[in-house]
Structure 1
Amino acid sequence: MPENSAERRSDQPPSNAAAAFLSRDFRRYQLARLLVIIGAEAQSLAVAWQVYQITHKAIDLGYTGLALFLPGLLFILPSGHVADRFDRRSVILLCYGLQIFCTATLFLFALHGMRSVLPIYIVLFLIGTGRSFSGPASSALLPHLVPKEHFVNAVTWGATVFQIANISGPALGGVLFTLPLAHWALAHGLVAHLAGAPIVFLFTLVTLCCFLVLVGSLSVRPGRMEHRATSMAVILAGFHYVRRTQILLGSISLDLFAVLLGGAVSLMPIFAQEILHAGPRGLGLLRAAPALGAMLVSISLTFRPIRRRAGARMFTCVGIFGAATVVFGLSKSLPLSMAALFVVGASDMVSVVIRSSMLQLGTPPEMRGRVSAVNALFLGASNELGEFESGLTAQWWGAVRAVVIGGIGSMMVTGLWATLFPALRRTDRLTADALLEAEREEATKEVRQL
């Protein structure tokens, strides 16, 4: 199949810090992502606060992450295959149609004062199902939106957009959650208990509808990338490719274990209410702090991209991530906690840009969906399963000990992975040619050792 027109070379030099935005489809897609992630982050805050207010148990916050993660584990094989077998844009639209149904259901639950968490978990499982299919399709769609020479710039700007939304979403969710709407609602003949979670879910519905309109207007039509007949070998190709490519395996698994151990997002309602005494708005500030750090770093990377020593920089920043997590766990001050989370987000962003660039540049176009599905499983394990792990360990040891021990674990994993994956540590430039050459050198060494 011929490459999309966006993949032809541009007259604009790659050094342009905003080169990716020369593509119309890239601009529209990033605007759509900005809106929908803001809505999703606001919704996530509302769900976490709602669940904790119903049960007041850390483990129940962990179950919210588990409900989102399980679909990614169950559907990893079909989701990657679907992303390579069907038009990736159509897959994304269908999945976000399911998200609209789920958010509308959460709105009705909140409006009627649902006092059981089980129906909420069921809806979260459906949301996770949509994400498990849309994630690989979205990741594999990005290379079709920009010329090849602008891809790293597109990844960096995509990460910037994501972090802007991560800042805005939780903060906006906290503000919407605490708006005094009861008197306004009564004056306008509306339901008085619209305040709180229901208004947040309504806002998320609006962002989802805008997302569908913008993505539906994209001109890109990647079509079917995998033309071989469906077989177990074809479906498992993504696993085999990652397993034999040490740079990809090392970078993805490093993120898995570092974030799995060091993640503290799911415990933020506990820190906000019981340790920092900051309430929902304080929770919004805590959720926004790492996104602010990540956003500033990602903007910096658009002007000063990572040109050399990518692997070494990645390991350094993951170690900093673990150390900052320890500081957050020990903090009793809201400003210090926000500063620690700022560093968490800033250090994590460097590894995100490096890992995402390695993932797409080091993978053939016809396999990007399946390889992205493997990556999505690892990301889901590190984020959603990490939330369950945090909730479980907080139930055993308390929130502070859980976060501190997890941060120490992240630093230990960083040192271990630097030893186990020397090819990743030695990775220099983030270009397709450099990554392929590094893979060939690693394969040659393995053959010689045999």
Structure 2
Amino acid sequence: MTVLPPASHPLSYGNFRAYLVGRLAAVLAQYSMMIVLGWQAYNVARETMDTSGAAAQLGLIGLAQFLPLFFLTPVTGWVADHYDRRKITRITLCLLIVAAAILALATYEGWVSLPLIFGIAAVVGIARAFNGPAYSALAPNLVPREALPNAIAISSVAWQAGSIIGPALGGYAYAATPWGAYALASALFATALIAMIFIGPVPQPPRDTTRHPVRQMIDGLTYVRSNRLVLATITLDLFAVLLAGATALLPVYARDILHVGSTGLGHLAAAPGVGAGLTALWFSFRPMKKDVGVKMLGAVILFGLATIAFGLTAFVPHSIAIEIGIGALVILGGADMISVYVRQSLIQLHTPDAMRGRVSSLSQLTISASNELGEAESGFLAALVGPVAAVIGGGIGAIVITLVWARLFPELRLARTFDPPETGASNFSQERVHES
């Protein structure tokens, strides 16, 4: 096992620098591809359907990506805890490169169709199901314990920045040339693969060979249920963002409400990235150190308010609607960055390494449920009650959920710092390993 020397900052380690480049490139590609999938599916559907029917296709795109993740989560977490996490990410990145390249070719030659888009969306969901837990669990293996909090924060910043800037890249690339958007995603996935190849050998968590794999898969769920702080952070994101899925309906707002086209879609999709980037920059100079739980709750409430403000742009004169919408989305992105920063730091620091893959897979499932399943919910709800009511209602729902969670989980409200307890997490891991 490689012993890492002490250092003051995680960026002093070459493995972590390569990881960060790969992580950012992969998330940029993934989320740029997601927005383009939705935009292209909506436009293809609008050729033969009305607005309601086309909006429902956005729901199906989200569902196609979520279902593989839902069914594979128990397996992917166990795989990330028992096999080389570097190799898992490399294999899945190869799959994503091919998937994006196929859509680029199909779009360029004009044989793209809804079944093809749905099929590729499912492939993307399968790849993400495996690479997400491996990526998340790998970061703490690249730096020593004393550098871990900063490493988690930087990794979280890279993920969040990529997840919000990525849609903007996709929107702008699609506006320039539709097939180029997928070619860009494929190139970014290739960049991530090269970066991951540069990561050398890293410490591996001990494998438990005494217990059945199914029992070990269940351990991840058992751990999350037993740690109420981890449970609270994971489920708050699940239900709040599941309801407030404004970004899922950006194609509808861009085309049929604000009438700004694919270029306007790029502006709207970029706005949350600006908010997230400014917030991340602030944390790089002034990292959060106290009252982390209360700040996370406040951030989710602000997220809901910004979602409501964006929804109300439908009733604002067109001359200023796009500016107000962009402003609301900037605030939304900043609030989401705060929430992700706190959530990921708490989860990683309160979870033992031998359990990190399984807990990360459950965290990814809730994130995907709040994003992809949230897209499905928003698309279907928009088809039922209209996109404006769906966005505004979702923002209200996120605020209500946050207030309920503050009451149900006082552990979250009372969390002062990111520091884990002296005992508990590590003891859980040891007890499960020796149980038999």
Question: Residue 392 of structure 1: CA displacement?
Answer: 0.6
Tell me: CA distance 1:84–1:151, structure 2 relative to 1, closer, same or farther (3 Å).
same
Tell me: CA distance 1:32–1:115, structure 2 relative to 1, closer, same or farther (3 Å).
closer
Tell me: CA distance 1:408–1:416, structure 2 relative to 1, closer, same or farther (3 Å).
same
Question: Residue 158 of structure 1: CA displacement?
Answer: 2.1
Structure 1 segments unaligned to the other structure (5+ residues): 13-18, 180-195, 441-450
Asked if 2 retains the 8 angstrom alpha-carbon contact of 1:47 and 1:197, the reply is: no
- Equivalent residue letter for 2:201: V
Equivalent residues in 2 for 1:416-431, closer than 5 Å: 416-431=404-419
What is the TM-score when the length of structure 2 is the normalising length? 0.90
Asked if 2 retains the 8 angstrom alpha-carbon contact of 1:157 and 1:299, the reply is: no
Question: Residue 266 of structure 1: CA displacement?
Answer: 1.4
Equivalent residues in 2 for 1:109-148, closer than 5 Å: 109-114=106-111, 116-148=113-145
Matched, 1:50 2:40: yes
Equivalent residues in 2 for 1:80-99, closer than 5 Å: 80-99=77-96
Tell me: CA distance 1:101–1:225, structure 2 relative to 1, closer, same or farther (3 Å).
farther
Asked if 2 retains the 8 angstrom alpha-carbon contact of 1:163 and 1:292, the reply is: no
Matched, 1:409 2:403: no
Question: Residue 42 of structure 1: CA displacement?
Answer: 2.8
Which digits, 9 at most, give the CA deviation of each residue in 1:99-149, with x for residues without a partner?
112112212321232353122111110110010010001100010122222
Question: Residue 68 of structure 1: CA displacement?
Answer: 0.8
Aligned to 1:324: 306
Aligned match for 1:258, one of 221, 233, 240: 240
Asked if 1 retains the 8 angstrom alpha-carbon contact of 2:346 and 2:418, the reply is: yes
Asked if 1 retains the 8 angstrom alpha-carbon contact of 2:65 and 2:125, the reply is: yes
Aligned to 2:375: 387
Asked if 2 retains the 8 angstrom alpha-carbon contact of 1:171 and 1:281, the reply is: no
Question: Residue 83 of structure 1: CA displacement?
Answer: 0.2
Asked if 1 retains the 8 angstrom alpha-carbon contact of 2:97 and 2:187, the reply is: no
Equivalent residues in 2 for 1:64-103, closer than 5 Å: 64-103=61-100
Asked if 2 retains the 8 angstrom alpha-carbon contact of 1:318 and 1:411, the reply is: yes
**75-84 vs 343-352, greater mean Cα deviation:** 343-352
Matched, 1:227 2:211: no
Distance in 1 between residues matched to 2:422 and 2:284, nearest whole Å: 20
Matched, 1:432 2:398: no
Distance in 2 between residues matched to 1:340 and 1:238, nearest whole Å: 37
Matched, 1:165 2:155: no
Asked if 2 retains the 8 angstrom alpha-carbon contact of 1:358 and 1:435, the reply is: no
Matched, 1:204 2:197: no
Distance in 2 between residues matched to 1:395 and 1:434, nearest whole Å: 50
Moved >6 Å (runs of 4+): none
Aligned match for 1:215, one of 192, 196, 206: 196
Distance in 1 between residues matched to 2:21 and 2:193, nearest whole Å: 11
- Equivalent residue letter for 2:89: I
Aligned match for 1:284, one of 258, 263, 266: 266
Question: Residue 245 of structure 1: CA displacement?
Answer: 0.7
- Equivalent residue letter for 2:300: V
| Number of aligned residues | 413
Asked if 2 retains the 8 angstrom alpha-carbon contact of 1:156 and 1:298, the reply is: no
What is the TM-score when the length of structure 1 is the normalising length? 0.88
Equivalent residues in 2 for 1:300-449, closer than 5 Å: 300-331=282-313, 332=316, 333-433=321-421
Tell me: CA distance 1:174–1:374, structure 2 relative to 1, closer, same or farther (3 Å).
closer
Which digits, 9 at most, give the CA deviation of each residue in 1:58-80, with x for residues without a partner?
11011111111111101011100
Aligned-residue CA RMSD (Å):
1.9
The 3-state SS of whatever aligns with 1:178 is: helix
Matched, 1:30 2:27: no
- Percent same amino acid among aligned pairs? 37
Distance in 1 between residues matched to 2:73 and 2:35, nearest whole Å: 26
Matched, 1:5 2:11: no
Question: Residue 224 of structure 1: CA displacement?
Answer: 5.3
Aligned to 2:281: 299
Distance in 1 between residues matched to 2:278 and 2:244, nearest whole Å: 21
Structure 2 segments unaligned to the other structure (5+ residues): 47-53, 429-436
Matched, 1:20 2:22: no
Asked if 2 retains the 8 angstrom alpha-carbon contact of 1:141 and 1:222, the reply is: no
Question: Residue 166 of structure 1: CA displacement?
Answer: 4.4
Question: Residue 253 of structure 1: CA displacement?
Answer: 0.3
Distance in 2 between residues matched to 1:361 and 1:27, nearest whole Å: 20
Tell me: CA distance 1:406–1:164, structure 2 relative to 1, closer, same or farther (3 Å).
closer
Equivalent residues in 2 for 1:238-249, closer than 5 Å: 238-249=220-231
Question: Residue 220 of structure 1: CA displacement?
Answer: 3.4
Aligned to 1:444: none
Distance in 2 between residues matched to 1:343 and 1:435, nearest whole Å: 38
Question: Residue 361 of structure 1: CA displacement?
Answer: 0.8
Distance in 1 between residues matched to 2:217 and 2:175, nearest whole Å: 47
